[in-house]
Amino acid sequence: MRGFGETVFAEMTRLATDTGAINLGQGFPDTDGPTSLLEGAARRIRDGGDSVNQYPPGLGRPELRAAVAADRSRRYGLDYDPSDEVYVTVGATGGIAAAVLSTVEPGDEVVLFEPMYDSYPAVIAMAGGVRRPVTLRPTGPAGRFTFDPEELRAAVGPRTRMIIVNSPHNPTGTVLTREELAVIADLCHEHDLIALTDEVYEHLTFDGAEHVPLAALPGMRERTITVSSVGKTFSVTAWKTGWVTGPRELVRAVRTVNQFLTFSANGALQLAIADALSDVSGEMGWVGQLRAALAGKRDRLSVGLRAAGFDVTHTQGTYFVMADIGPLGGTDGIEFARAMPREAGVAMVPAQVLYDRPTEARHLVRFAFCKRDEVLDAAIARLGEWSRTGARPSRAAQG
Ligand SMILES: *Cc1c(COP(=O)(O)O)cnc(C)c1O
């Protein structure tokens, strides 16, 4: 694991703390999830009973497995047996790790899209796998990121075992269309691949962009391990509760590995999440409001960044926008992101660290917009002042 040192997210968060900068680097909300969800967990822990404060069953609490199965059936028409096709993990991160470790043997190749979420290359390395990245590039007037089907085809070979698909995609904000997913599905059939999908932003899509699970495409349910979690949907990223759905043989393999990684996840939280997914107290309406608010925040930050001189690409979902530092004279995102907390009072993440081919994205940085409007406005004001004067606004002006 040499080469997997401190993550850039941790470095940028530390820089933000050290300099008092506004942190638009790491993607976590600065407001809480629905009160009923928080209260539901607190009440369960306090009341105890039903062994809620003891090890839950290895598969996860039956209430949450049933709620996940019902949710995926209702929204996507995908039916999973809660008794052995739904499995609760410590966050999506735990599910992704167990899925890769249970499927990828040393020397197996894994196709994935770059920019890539930082846990994918790390767990592929732990499994002894070899990653085959396919670059997402901005296309069209809005600069929506997508892949070239020919490049994807060329990345798949005789040793390819798995393809990892994250949609809605962090950090480009792309929501893959049914047509794009069909290209991936065809390759999976042709080469007998297992697909691992990361759908943690499944609810956070904007402007009517529709999230389509890869498992919903013809023949894909039987070869897809789907991972999602509570953190992004309900703004509780600390809760680290996720779920894996898939055909029982694949879920059994994931479970075999995970019983020796974390064994089980927090039981009281699982009960509260089960209620929220079942919309017991209107939590799904809360999610609808979050989605609308995030779309507004995306616009707010994009307008502000453009006014400060960045080029900003169009985001269809998630917490993030990608911005080009070229118009501001920036040539290296790492240098830029390391300097900006001190110079402008705003922290961001350089995109190139999420690529195997960093030259594809030296000019790009990622901003998170999942913050209160006043925080976004303050960051925009600081960036505007910096780009006008080349200097960080004075303490007094920062308010
Ligand atoms: C936040 C995030 C995760 C992690 O989810 P947890 O449930 O907190 O482990 C996984 N994948 C992507 C793309 C993310 O942005």
Whether 229 is in the pocket of ligand 1, judged by its Cβ within 6 Å, is yes
If you measure from the C-alpha of residue 117 to the centroid of ligand 1, how many angstroms do you get, rounded to a whole number?
8
Q: How confident is the model at residue 5 (pLDDT cuts 50, 70, 90)?
A: confident
First to last CA, the chain: 43
Report the atom number in ligand 1 closest to the C-alpha of 166. Answer: 13
Q: Give the pLDDT confidence of 134-169 residue by residue, as tens digits.
A: 999 999 988 999 999 999 999 999 999 999 999 999
If you measure from the C-alpha of residue 174 to the centroid of ligand 1, how many angstroms do you get, rounded to a whole number?
16
Whether 95 is in the pocket of ligand 1, judged by its Cβ within 6 Å, is no
Amino acid at 349: V
Length of the chain counted residue by residue: 399
228 token code pair: 């999602």
Ligand 1 binding pocket mutation candidate from 229, 233, 240, 315 (most atoms within 8 A of CB): 229
71 token code pair: 């949710």
Residue 175: φ, ψ to 5°: -105, 110
Q: Give the pLDDT confidence of 27-76 residue by residue, as tens digits.
A: 999 999 999 999 999 999 999 988 999 999 999 999 999 999 999 999 99
The string of DSSP letters for 199-244 reads -TTTT-B-TTPPP--GGGSTTTGGGEEEEEEHHHHTT-GGG--EEE
Whether 200 is in the pocket of ligand 1, judged by its Cβ within 6 Å, is yes
If you measure from the C-alpha of residue 92 to the centroid of ligand 1, how many angstroms do you get, rounded to a whole number?
6
If you measure from the C-alpha of residue 321 to the centroid of ligand 1, how many angstroms do you get, rounded to a whole number?
17
Whether 117 is in the pocket of ligand 1, judged by its Cβ within 6 Å, is yes
Q: Give the pLDDT confidence of 295-331 residue by residue, as tens digits.
A: 999 999 999 999 999 999 999 999 999 999 999 999 9
**Is the model's pLDDT at 397 over the cut of 50?**
no
**Is the model's pLDDT at 399 over the cut of 70?**
no
If you measure from the C-alpha of residue 242 to the centroid of ligand 1, how many angstroms do you get, rounded to a whole number?
9
If you measure from the C-alpha of residue 49 to the centroid of ligand 1, how many angstroms do you get, rounded to a whole number?
31
Instruction: Tell me the CA distances in angstroms from 85 to 28, 70, 124, 253, 362, one per residue in order.
Output: 29, 12, 23, 11, 42
Q: Give the pLDDT confidence of 323-376 residue by residue, as tens digits.
A: 999 999 999 999 999 999 999 999 999 999 999 999 999 999 999 999 999 999
**3-class state of residue 66 by DSSP:** helix
Neighbours of 397 (CB within 10 A): 10
Whether 198 is in the pocket of ligand 1, judged by its Cβ within 6 Å, is yes
**Is the model's pLDDT at 398 over the cut of 60?**
no
**Is the model's pLDDT at 395 over the cut of 80?**
no
Q: Give the pLDDT confidence of 84-95 residue by residue, as tens digits.
A: 999 999 999 999
Ligand 1 binding pocket mutation candidate from 198, 236, 354 (most atoms within 8 A of CB): 198
Residue 164 near residue 152, CB atoms below 8 Å: no
Q: How confident is the model at residue 393 (pLDDT cuts 50, 70, 90)?
A: low
Report the atom number in ligand 1 closest to the C-alpha of 95. Answer: 9
- Helix 91-103 with 248-258: angle, nearest 10 deg: 110
**Hunting for tokens 């195997």 — which residue is that?**
356
The string of DSSP letters for 156-192 reads --TTEEEEEEESSPTTT-----HHHHHHHHHHHHHHT
Which H or E element spans position 288? helix 283-307
If you measure from the C-alpha of residue 237 to the centroid of ligand 1, how many angstroms do you get, rounded to a whole number?
8
Nearest CA to ligand 1 atom 15: 170
Nearest CA to ligand 1 atom 5: 92
**Is the model's pLDDT at 7 over the cut of 90?**
no
Whether 242 is in the pocket of ligand 1, judged by its Cβ within 6 Å, is yes
Measured between alpha carbons, how far is 187 from 119 in angstroms, rounded to an integer? 24
At residue 24, the pLDDT reads 97
Report the atom number in ligand 1 closest to the C-alpha of 230. Answer: 7
If you measure from the C-alpha of residue 389 to the centroid of ligand 1, how many angstroms do you get, rounded to a whole number?
37
Whether 93 is in the pocket of ligand 1, judged by its Cβ within 6 Å, is yes
Residue 229 near residue 95, CB atoms below 8 Å: yes
Residue 147 near residue 111, CB atoms below 8 Å: no
